[in-house]
A and B are shown apart, each in its own frame.
Chain A
Amino acid sequence: MTQQPAWRGPALAAAFPLLALVAWHFATSGRAYSLIPPPWEVWLELRDLAVGGIYDDAFSETLGTHALASMSRAYGGFGLAALVALPLGMLIGRVEIIRAMLDPTLQLLRPVPVTAWLPLAMIVFGLGPRSAFFLVFLGAFYPILINTIFGVRSVEPRLFEAAAMLGVSPSATFAKVVLPASLPSIFTGLRLGLGLSWVVIVVGEMTGVQTGLGAIIMEARQLSRTDIVICGMAVIGVLGFASDKLIMLFGQWLLRWSPQHG
């Protein structure tokens, strides 16, 4: 096999979006009336949203506040989901009586999509950020729970034998064998959960919430500010991507022993 130059990957990855950008430019620039604003205007708006100084309207310099609001809800809901789902998953996976008690109910509730919980959440928690937070919690909860249960249940039996003959007491087996062996699954659950948190938070912010990236998109749509709608989408994409990259880096370090991850 011939060695590929180092720039090949990034160049290929950048080629398609650049082409799309060029196409977007020629399809929208210089038109008297276009539903979609040209890329240059969106870029100006993005700068105004972030640091102000261009249009100085009600939206100027608000991006940081909205992004921070969304992020704190997404990570907060995710963190709370992990706090509940990790120990619960371990218990369901390893303790027969708890599994028999809780698993059927949880499986029955699982097919209800997160978005179908939205009306009920709004009734219980009212219109506002608390409903959005609850949705994030629910969205992240199931992937973490399911993968944790799977992880702690699918430990290779041979490893229990190896630990036992090396003198690990039954009470220490969980910490010494089950937990490390199930880390890859648990990590998969956390990563899926984090991705879903980000999806769900935007949906959750679209009704009755004043701040957040979902809120700003909906507000801009009502005011026909398509440039802001596109800016909001772009920021959501970039932040979601960065957050996934971060957790991937963490996973690569945590699972450096695993041929599938390290």
Chain B
Amino acid sequence: MVEPILDVKNVTKRFAFNNETVTALANANLTIQKGEFVCLIGPSGCGKSTLLRMVAGFETASEGELLMWTKPVQGPGPDRGMVFQDYGLFPWLTVTKNIGFGPAARGRPAKEVKETARRFVEMVGLTRFADAFPHQLSGGMKQRVAIARVLANEAEVVLMDEPFGALDAMTRERLQAELLEIWEAQKLTVLFVTHAIEEAIVLADRVVVMSPGPGRIVADERIDIPRPRDPTSPEFNELRRRLSGLLAGHH
């Protein structure tokens, strides 16, 4: 079997909270192959963000280990780009400079940074706004910048924590389609957290269902419906029913 790009092995995460211990995630196991699009769904507080933030290197596991290409994850790094729900753009930088931030920070030559930034600004369709500052952009545009900056930084794994949660339905659908296009073209590996079953079915190769108290993985469903997926088709509906069932806890 081929080496997985990400391997989460028996990971447990506990937080100290008001002299108590909260188990945010218990005994999670998850293996992701290069190029897979995996969605994490589950009710609030089931540890989705915690799992994602451990893969990103922002948190360390209390038990178990997280491996990328068989090596333990040690802190955040440019190979794992994160897209936050609240964007996390640098407000003092233009769109172009935000997108070129990673390559510039890693000491790439100025000319290459400029060229890379220009290419990715174009890829997310923001050429007209190349010199705008984040506060001059709509939410959808900000999220495009956030996606472009991790891609411009050659992230192999893109971690997304409810990236489209704050956007209106139409913008969300358009960004979902764009994300799928980019994912295919760039051969990315995506780990995508969402509350919405529909979003997970539209996007994912695999949907990982989580459950709270303590947070754990309860199911891992493969989706073989060819893309683009039609939310009104019978297979889509069948899947939606099954996933709602899993989420509600009677499986």
Contacts and interface: CB of A to CB of B under 8 A. Distances in A.
Contacts of A159: 88, 90
B105 A165 contact: no
A158 to B, nearest CB: 4
Contact of A166 (B91, B134, B135, B150): B150
Interface in B76-97: 76-78, 80-82, 84, 86, 88-94
B88 A161 contact: yes
Across the A-B interface, the 5 shortest Cβ-Cβ residue pairs: A167-B78, A166-B102, A164-B76, A162-B88, A259-B135
A172 interface: yes
A97 B149 CA distance: 36
7 contacts: A162-B89, A166-B105, A166-B149, A168-B105, A181-B91, A257-B91, A259-B135
B189 to A, nearest CB: 15
Contacts of A168: 105
A257 B77 contact: no
A159 B149 CA distance: 14
Contact of B84 (A158, A259, A262): A158
A172 B105 CA distance: 8
B77 A165 contact: yes
Interface of B: 56-58, 75-78, 80-82, 84, 86, 88-94, 101-102, 105-106, 133-135, 149-150, 153
Contacts of A181: 90-92
Interface string A27-52: 00000000000000000000000000
Given A158-B84, A256-B133, A165 B92 contact: no
A258 B90 CA distance: 11
Contacts, number: 69
Contacts of A192: none
B103 to A, nearest CB: 9
A163 interface: yes
A259 B84 CA distance: 21
B78 A183 contact: no
A168 B90 CA distance: 13
Given A162-B84, A166-B101, A183 B76 contact: no
Given A165-B78, A166-B102, A259-B135, 11 more contacts: A158-B88, A159-B90, A161-B82, A161-B84, A165-B56, A166-B101, A166-B105, A183-B92, A257-B135, A258-B135, A262-B133
B90 A180 contact: yes
Contacts of A164: 57-58, 75-76
B82 A167 contact: no
Nearest to B81: A165
A168 B86 CA distance: 20
A257 B90 CA distance: 10
A176 interface: yes
B105 A167 contact: yes
B82 to A, nearest CB: 5
A257 B132 CA distance: 9
Contacts of B80: 165
A259 B137 CA distance: 12
A165 B80 CA distance: 7
